[in-house]
Amino acid sequence: MRNVLATQADALPGRIVATANDYPTDHRVARHRHRRAQLLYAAHGLMLVTTSAGRWIVPPERAVWIPAGVEHEVQVLVRISTRSVYVEPGVSADLPADCRVLGVAPLLRQLLLETLDLPLPGEADARAQLIYSLIVHEIERAPVLPLDIPFPTEPRLAKRCRAYLARPSPHDGIDDWCRDLAMSRRTFTRRFRAETGISFAQWCRQAAIFAALPRLAAGEPITALALDLGYDSASAFSTMFKRIVGMPPSRYLGNAA
């Protein structure tokens, strides 16, 4: 179904239902939750999904999995065309239990695009049921991509993370964080990893890429952006960008357009 508001998806009948929506740049879907889990796929464009646990960047031809009942907000960074598949709890015990960005294989991509032409919810025929079943199977085996920024639960640390994420700086190092939070380096590094699941250095690298994505889409030159984020060259930035996003900045820009 086309143009069903995300906040209205719960009213649709069926254990598995699909919708399609197009959103302009800077559009926001306010915080909400669904009774079903949601696979939100970006056919093209770029979006940011935020929950209390973190943020997930969804580049073109990738998808984010949002479990049932998780409150989330969606921000469109680059004009986007989406497909959503909503799955009732209990359909499969093997579906992910937490938010994550998933790689979308060609088969899953085609199945998601095919949902646009399926019968209306409640009228699904045998073919539609087979397509939905195969989509669930493909979600279960989809690779997880490192396109998330986990947030700590400790309030002071979470506040510091959000401030850094708003404007990453190579001059804002671990000693600055330790001083601001009145922690020894050893205590800080141990607590940061315990709260986020990753090292401080890895978190900062991913934060820099998060900050770079909308700036790239807005047309900022790669070299200037790389230097601003603390990289020695555009080449070094491109290497890290490809490692995290899965494609170089030039290809990302082409796919996001």
Confidence of residue 209 (pLDDT cuts 50, 70, 90): confident
Question: Which of 8-17, 101-110, 115-124, 159-168 is the most confident on average?
Answer: 101-110
Evaluate whether 244 touches 148 at the Cβ level (below 8 Å): no
For 221-249, how does the pLDDT look when each residue is reduced to its tens digit (9 = 90+)?
999 999 888 888 999 999 988 887 777 88
Give the pLDDT score at 96: 95
For 168-198, how does the pLDDT look when each residue is reduced to its tens digit (9 = 90+)?
888 899 999 999 999 999 999 999 999 999 9
Query: Read out DSSP for 109-154?
Result: HHHHHHGGGSPPTT---HHHHHHHHHHHHHHHHPPEES-EEEPPSS
Separation CA 6–CA 33 (nearest Å): 9
DSSP classification of residue 101: E
Q: Where are the domains of the chain?
A: 6-145, 151-256
Give the pLDDT score at 256: 59
Report the predicted TM-score, pTM, of the whole model to 2 decimal places. Answer: 0.82
First to last CA, the chain: 24
Phi-psi region of 83 (alpha: psi -120 to 50; beta: other; left: phi over 0): beta
Confidence of residue 3 (pLDDT cuts 50, 70, 90): low
Separation CA 213–CA 210 (nearest Å): 6
pLDDT averaged over every residue in the chain: 89
* Burial environment of residue 117 by CB neighbours within 10 A (0 to 12, 13 to 18, 19 or more): exposed
Separation CA 78–CA 25 (nearest Å): 5
CATH architecture of the domain 6-145 equals: Sandwich (2.60)
Give the pLDDT score at 123: 62
* Burial environment of residue 1 by CB neighbours within 10 A (0 to 12, 13 to 18, 19 or more): middle
Evaluate whether 40 touches 76 at the Cβ level (below 8 Å): no
CATH top class, domain 151-256: mainly alpha
Residue 257 has pLDDT above 60, yes or no: no
Percent of the chain scored above 70 by pLDDT? 93
